[in-house]
């Protein structure tokens, strides 16, 4: 599973084996082994690959099929930052109102 995911992601980004190997400081053949299924990456490598590809280890490992987590803002079940500064709950409520209003206006425009 992880080999398939790695292969797909790398091709989508149009990265070479060598580039990824350099990023993780491993041999090209080592990374190639991950994609071919000939080898399994270490847990540390899995972590680094998830960060490099901008995805989650859950996706790489096949726990989930979603490359990027989808978050429903109104559920408030996570922490968020902008410019490194935590977004307060009040601010999130304002954000939601902002978007709702904007959408409402868009609707009437048509």
Partner DNA sequence: AATAAAGGTACGCGAATCGCGAACAATTTT
Partner DNA sequence: AAAATTGTTCGCGATTCGCGTACCTTTATT
Distance between CA 16 and CA 50 in Å, rounded?
A: 16
Applying the rule CB under 8 A, the residues between 13 and 72 that interact with a copy of itself are 40-43, 46-47, 50-51, 54, 56-58, 61-63, 66, 68-72
Residue (8 or 18) nearer to a copy of itself, CB: 8
> Using the rule CB under 8 A, is 78 a contact of a copy of itself?
yes
Rg of the chain (C-alpha set)? 19
Q: Following CA atoms 74, 75, 79, 84 in sequence, which dihedral angle do they give, to the nearest 10 degrees?
A: -10
- We find the least distance from the C-beta atom of residue 10 to DNA, in angstroms, to be 7
Sole binder of DNA in the list 1, 4, 13, 27 (CB under 7 A): 27
Q: Identify which of 26, 59, 62, 19 has the alpha carbon closest to the alpha carbon of residue 44.
A: 26
Q: Identify which of 66, 25, 64 has the alpha carbon closest to the alpha carbon of residue 42.
A: 25
How many C-beta neighbours within 10 Å does residue 97 have? 10
> Using the rule CB under 7 A, is 33 a contact of DNA?
yes
Positions in the binding site for a copy of itself (CB under 8 A): 2, 40-43, 46-47, 50-51, 54, 56-58, 61-63, 66, 68-74, 77-85, 87, 91, 94-96, 98-100, 102-103
């Amino acid at each position: 599973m992880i080999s398939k995911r790695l292969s797909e992601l790398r091709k989508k980004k149009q990265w070479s084996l060598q580039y990824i190997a350099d990023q993780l400081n491993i041999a090209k053949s080592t990374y190639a082994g991950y994609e071919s299924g000939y080898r399994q990456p270490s847990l540390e490598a899995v972590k680094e690959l998830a960060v490099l590809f901008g995805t989650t280890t859950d996706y790489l490992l096949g726990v989930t099929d979603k490359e990027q987590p989808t978050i429903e803002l109104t559920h408030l079940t996570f922490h968020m930052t902008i410019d490194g500064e935590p977004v307060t709950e009040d601010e999130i409520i304002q954000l939601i109102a902002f978007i709702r209003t904007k959408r409402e206006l868009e609707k009437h425009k048509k």
